[in-house]
Amino acid sequence: MTSSDAALTQLLSDARTWAAQDPDPATAAALTELIRLSDAGVAGARQELADSFSGTLQFGTAGLRAALGAGPNRMNRVVVRRAAAGLAAFLGSTVAQAAPGTRPRAVVGYDARYNSDVFAEETAAIFTAAGIETFLMPAALPTPLLAYAVRALDCDGGVMVTASHNPPQDNGYKVYLGRHAVEESGRGAQIVAPYDALIAAEIESVGALDSIVLAPAGWTVLAPSVAADYEAAVAALAAPARFPARDLKIVLTPMHGVGGKTAVAVLKAAGFTDVTLVTEQAEPDPDFPTVNFPNPEEPGALDLALETAAGVGADIVIANDPDADRAAVAAKDPDTGAWRMLRGDEVGALLGAHVVARLDGIGGAAVGVFANSIVSSRLLARIAAAAGYTHEETLTGFKWIARVPGLLYGYEEALGYCVAPTLVRDKDGISAAVLIAELAAAAKADGKTIFDTLDELYLVHGLHANDQLSIRVADLGLLDAMMNRLRVSPPDSFGGSAVETAVDLAEGSEHLPPTEGMLYLTRDHTRVIIRPSGTEPKLKCYLEVIRSVGSAAELPAARLEARAALDGVLADVREALGL
């Protein structure tokens, strides 16, 4: 027998063993058919089977996320049961050490993807059997509502079953920690190191599948009032005394996700009653039939929303991703007359300035911190400094941003905004929508657009122009090769401006933990950051140029100059990477 024959025999044996113990008849049947086709020599089936059993899905700071299907490298009831049992053991031991005699508490939420409700209920059953006081959300609801519940219910942990804006075939398992499990600034936030490794070790220690006990009952299904409480708290963020304008025609799309009803209810409670839902995308649908990819950032994802906006004469479009933790904004550009989606950095700056204005209305000293990820624009730092507030940069991801002590507002360029950290210690596309509507209505009442408001920021702080280059690879080894090339043959300039500072982010610093990536600053303040994506097989390059602007009349020329500079930087980045 050749080595390849032996490998196939072992693969088929592993798959049959899995199918025999799989508690899900659907995945067991699909796996049995895959085994039959593989045994018959069907190449595609054999490749799919090999990938499904190529390793164990690893638990990390993003929890778990993968395609649905049978096998240890897929999202399924076996993998979820083991994850739930390991997390239950972690919560139990952690709470026992921090507060002896205290019963751990946890809350479990889920979106409308395939199997989300099943994964959530089995997690609740396993938690309950492990002695954890467990709450289950009453329906498929947004991720921010789960993050809210971790804090509102004073829980030690939370699980959200969601794959956010991933393709329809995926699902995921996102973990939050609370009261006795983490420090105060991290309560209600996603996990970071070392908690991921500690939980992963507990998962690894879980015994055979049939040793995992599922309680038949005993958890509490929360009343719908938990959603009503969140809606009331978020709607109360509106500041009508300071920003009374409510004349705004909004088109909203939840992109076939779970945020539609909640977002409409919150906006209307905040006084924004003219809200039109995109009919074709209003109800949850795990197939996401009208979009190629359910991510507002993807080309074409907002086409239906923009068509609706043109039809009803809307002022603004707000799009949430399927679990409603992100928000995208589009408006009609007065320079071109065309609708365009704002970049995440543009919305991040607008919200930052609006938060400052709201705080100015309260009075008192400027106390608190504004924060954004290192790959986001430097404009927020200038806005915060001008108002007397502290600013911090963090690693990419809201698991880091949300942990900043004293946080008042945080954002990342990938459409994530935290405007109310005392309510939700995570990105929240619904609370962000309230403040986006408020600032857009205020601009309209003054006879302006949000683009005019952006220009006002540029006149004070400089025009900050951004762009990105994403390089998707089939072989993950190419990511290492490109990063190695940067270190072996470092670029000496970008866009004709000499590199003055090169920082290897993998070495870490007093402000940031180590992370794979390179940061470059040039003489004219151009910034380039190159890093592998943490969730996709991509190399991501973030570019920013800054140009001083003396008057509004200079803005058009400054934009053209900045665009030309970005194009030059893009070309140099490609050359540096050997593309």
Minimal CA–CA distance to 318: which of 243, 410, 411, 415?
415
* Alpha carbons 302 and 127: distance in angstroms, whole number: 39
Measure the CA angle with vertex 552, ends 527 and 463; round to 5°: 10
Which phi and psi angles does 516 have, rounded to 5°? -70, 125
Which one of the listed residues 38, 52, 116, 164 is annotated catalytic?
A: 164
Neighbour count for residue 407 (Cβ, 10 Å): 19
Minimal CA–CA distance to 155: which of 212, 233, 91, 219?
91
Residue recorded with tokens 């100059």: 561
Measure the CA angle with vertex 282, ends 279 and 283; round to 5°: 125
| Preceding omega of 23 cis (within 30 degrees of 0) | no
* Alpha carbons 286 and 291: distance in angstroms, whole number: 12
Minimal CA–CA distance to 109: which of 260, 297, 250, 259?
259
Contact 254, 324 (CB under 8 A): yes
Minimal CA–CA distance to 529: which of 326, 319, 323, 378?
378
Q: Strands, E, within 164-239: which ranges?
A: 170-177, 189-190, 220-221
Q: Quickly list DSSP for 248-299.
A: --EEEE-TTSS-HHHHHHHHHHTT---EEE-GGGSS--TT-TT-SSS-TTST
- Write the burial class of residue 311 (CB in 10 Å: 0-12 exposed, 13-18 middle, 19+ buried): exposed
Minimal CA–CA distance to 17: which of 53, 54, 67?
53
201 Cβ contact partners less than 8 Å away, ≥ 6 residues apart: 86
Asked if 164 is an active-site residue, the reply is yes
308 Cβ contact partners less than 8 Å away, ≥ 6 residues apart: 251, 253, 276, 278, 279, 314, 317
Catalytic residues: 164
